Structure 1
C-alpha cells in the first residue's frame, strides 16, 4: 500500500463538503468573537445581582470574569485555531477550483479575509455589544467546559504571557479587575438610568452625591431672617411673638442678636404661659444651651453630628465666633429629598416662573434654592443669598428700580429695606 492510500487528504474530500466545513468554521469563529465582546461588555454589577438571586448563568459568568486572563485565553485560542483552519480550507478550495494558477491562493486569501471580516468579526461583535448581558448568561455554559478541557494549554500560554509582561514591566497590579467607580462615575450612571429609576428617586440620589461638597453655610437660614426672642422685650411682646410664631424652637438673645444665650422649646414654657405665672426669669430657666456649628462644616458630617448629639438645631458661626445663621435637621433633609414644608401657614412659597417669564423673589433666598427651583446657574462660590450676590455686584446698597444682569439673569431691585435688598424681580433667561 502506497503512501497516497494511507490516509484521506483534503483533495479527496468533496468540494461541497469543504464549503460546508468552511461555513461551520466561520460560524465557530463568529461565536468566539461574539463571546469575547459580550463577556467584556457585560454589566458586572447586574450579573452579580442576578447571581445573588440564583441565576446559574450569571453566577458562572461572574466566576469566569473573575479570571479574565484565562477566559480571554480560551476564547482567543479557539478563535485563532478556527481562523487558521479556515484559511487552510480556503486555500484547498482555491486550488481545487482554479488549479495551480499563481493568483489562486491570493484570491483565496482575499475571499477568506472578506468572509472573516463580515461573518466572523463585525456582525457577531455588534450582536455581542448589543445584547451583552443576555448572551453572557448563556455563553458561559459553553465557555466553562472549554476552559476546563483546555486548561493545561491555557495555563502554559498564560505563563509565557506573564513572563513577557514582567519583562516589559507591564504586568497588571493586584486587584486590577475590581470595578471601582468614583463619585462622578456613579453620578453619570444615575443620570443615564432614565428608565430604571423614577425621577424623584434619581433626584434624591444625585443630591446625596453633593453632600460632601455642600457646607452648612450653603443651606443655613441667614441671621437676618432668623426669628428669635429678645429677653429685654416686654412680657406682652414676647407673649405675642410666641402666639404668632410657627417655630417649635426659638433662639433667645439678651439685647444683642449676636448674644444668643439659649434655645427655647415652646412646649416647656406652655404650662407657665397658660397659667399666667411666668416672667423673664421663668423663660430663662426653660432655655437649653445653644449648639454652635462652624460655617465650613459639610452637611453630611453635620447630619451625623445631629444624630450623635441628639440635636435638631444649631447656630452657624464664622471663624471669629460671630453668628451667621441657623440650620436645622429639617434643612438638611430637605436638601436631600426636596422641600416638603412651607413657611408661613397658608402662604405659597413655591418658586416658579410666571406667565410673563418673571418671578418676585425675597432677597434672603439662598442661591442654591433659586438654582434648583428656577433652573438657573447663579454662582455659588461667593455669597450664599440673592441679597449678598446683588450687594457684591454693586459694592453698595442699590436703590429700587435698578437692574443688572448677574449670572446670565436680569435682576431688578424692587424693594430695599434696612440696608438689604428685600424683593427682586428675576427675568427668565432665554
Structure 2
C-alpha cells in the first residue's frame, strides 16, 4: 500500500476499524440475544431471526468466523499504522511508540469497548441484520473455519473439556418464576399472580386446599326426616356428604338439586335417599393438588373425600378448591368465604383459630408459614407447644397474634395485627 497517498492509507485504517467493530458488535449482540424471544420471532416468519437461529445452532463455527475476522483486522491495523509511521517519520523509536499507543487506543475504544456496549444494549436490533451478512461469510470461509475448529477441538480434548454438556439452556422453574416476577411492566397483575400460583401448585397437597372435617356441610341420615328435608332445601352446596351416625361412616354423595326434583313424585324416606347416593370418592392425605386435578378429570368426579392413614375423614376437596389456588376465591355464599373486607382502621382483624393459613395469607396478604400446620390454631400451638390459658401474644413471621379465646382443645379466636411494614406501605 506504499504507492497509495497518505490520506488513502489513513482512510483504510478507519475502514479496517469499522470492519473490526462490526465483528465485535455482532458477536456481543448474538451472545446477548434472548433465545426465547428469538424463537418467537422465528415463529412470526422473520428472515433475520431464522438466519440468526441457524447461526446460533452452530455456535463454534459462528465464533470462529467472527474471531477470525476481528483478529485479522486488528492485526492488519497496527501493521499498516507502523508502515505509515516509518514512511512519514523514518526509523524513529519515539514516533513508533506513539503510533503504537494511538492505534492500540483506537482499537480498544472503537473496535472493542464501544461496539460491545452497543451490542449488549440492543442485541435484537443488531444481531438480526448482522446475521444476513455473516451467514454468507461463514459459507465462504468454511474450509478455514473447519481447520481452525479442528485444531481448537483437539486442544479441548487434550484438556478433557466436554462442550456438549454445556449447551443445555432450558430454564428451571425458579428461573421462569423470576421472569414472571420481573414482567410487571408488560403483564397484567392478575395474570402474573395466576402464573406465580401455578408454580406454587407443585408444592401444595390436597391438605392445603381442603375444607376441614369440621367445616364440611354434611347430612346425617339418622336425623328426623323434617330436619333432613329442611337442610336439603337450605344447604349452600349442590353436593352433600351423607353419613350415618358418625361422619367417618360415609354412605355416599348426594346431588341435592336432582334429589329435590325427584322427590316431588316419590315418598320422602331414608331408603329413597339411599338409592340416590353416589359412591364416595376417597383420596389419601398428602396427594399433590396437580395430581388430584388430573384424577378429577379422569374419574369425572367433582367431590373427593380426604382420608388419613387410619381411614379417618380429614376433609373434602373439589376442583373449585384447587382452581381457587390459581385465580383466587370465587364470589359465592359459602360459609367458608364469609369473611369480607380486610384490616380495620386500627390495622387489626379478629379471625377464627380454625381458619386455614393459606386462606388467611391470601385474605390479609400475610406470609405466615404453610409448610407445617394448616390452620392458625395449629400454627399457634406449634409455636407455644401448649394450649394457652388466658390472653397470650405471639409473633410469627413478623405477624403479631393475640389469642382472645381458647378452651381445653384448641385456640378458638385470634386477633391478628397488621405488620408494621405493611402499614407503612399502605400510607
> Normalising TM by the smaller chain, what interval?
over 0.9
- Whether 1:59 and 2:55 are equivalent positions in the alignment is no
- Whether 1:290 and 2:280 are equivalent positions in the alignment is yes
Task: Flag structure 1 segments of 5+ consecutive residues without an equivalent.
Answer: 1-8
Q: Report the 3-state secondary structure (helix = DSSP H, G, I; strand = E; otherwise coil) of the residue aligned with 1:377.
A: coil
Q: How many residue pairs are counted as aligned between the two chains?
A: 420
2:289 aligned partner: 299
What are the equivalent positions in structure 2 for 1:339-354 lying under 5 Å apart?
339-344=329-334, 349-350=339-340, 352-354=342-344
1:24 aligned partner: 15
Q: Which moves more between the two structures, 406-415 or 272-281? A: 272-281
Match of 2:400 among 403, 410, 414: 410
1:78 aligned partner: 69
* CA distance in structure 1 between the aligned counterparts of 2:340 and 2:56, rounded to whole angstroms: 51
Q: CA RMSD in A?
A: 2.1
Q: Report the 3-state secondary structure (helix = DSSP H, G, I; strand = E; otherwise coil) of the residue aligned with 1:33.
A: helix
* CA distance in structure 2 between the aligned counterparts of 1:409 and 1:162, rounded to whole angstroms: 59
1:227 aligned partner: 217
Deviation at 1:392, TM superposition (A): 2.4
2:114 aligned partner: 123
1:104-132 CA distance string (max 9 Å, x none): 33222221221111111111111101111
* CA distance in structure 2 between the aligned counterparts of 1:392 and 1:345, rounded to whole angstroms: 27
1:145-204 CA distance string (max 9 Å, x none): 111111111111111111111121113126x43421111111111112222322211111
1:300-338 CA distance string (max 9 Å, x none): 000000000001111111122211111111001111122
Deviation at 1:46, TM superposition (A): 1.3
- Report the CA distance shift for 1:177/1:372 in structure 2 as closer, same or farther (over 3 A): same
1:355 aligned partner: 345
Q: Which moves more between the two structures, 98-107 or 277-286? A: 98-107
Task: Flag structure 2 segments of 5+ consecutive residues without an equivalent.
Answer: 421-427
What are the equivalent positions in structure 2 for 1:215-364 lying under 5 Å apart?
215-274=205-264, 277-344=267-334, 349-350=339-340, 352-364=342-354
Q: Which moves more between the two structures, 294-303 or 277-286? A: 277-286
Q: Which moves more between the two structures, 303-312 or 90-99? A: 90-99
The 8 Å contact of residues 20 and 111 in structure 2, kept in 1 or not, is answered as yes
2:6 aligned partner: 15
Deviation at 1:346, TM superposition (A): 13
The 8 Å contact of residues 212 and 314 in structure 2, kept in 1 or not, is answered as yes
* CA distance in structure 2 between the aligned counterparts of 1:402 and 1:26, rounded to whole angstroms: 76
- Report the CA distance shift for 1:343/1:423 in structure 2 as closer, same or farther (over 3 A): farther
Tell me which stretches of 4 or more aligned residues in structure 1 moved more than 4 Å.
Answer: 272-276, 345-348
The 8 Å contact of residues 408 and 429 in structure 1, kept in 2 or not, is answered as yes
* CA distance in structure 2 between the aligned counterparts of 1:126 and 1:387, rounded to whole angstroms: 57
- Report the CA distance shift for 1:138/1:67 in structure 2 as closer, same or farther (over 3 A): same
Match of 2:38 among 23, 47, 56: 47
Deviation at 1:400, TM superposition (A): 5.8
1:90 aligned partner: 81
Tell me the TM-score normalised to structure 2 length. 0.93
1:187-224 CA distance string (max 9 Å, x none): 11111222232221111111111222111011111111
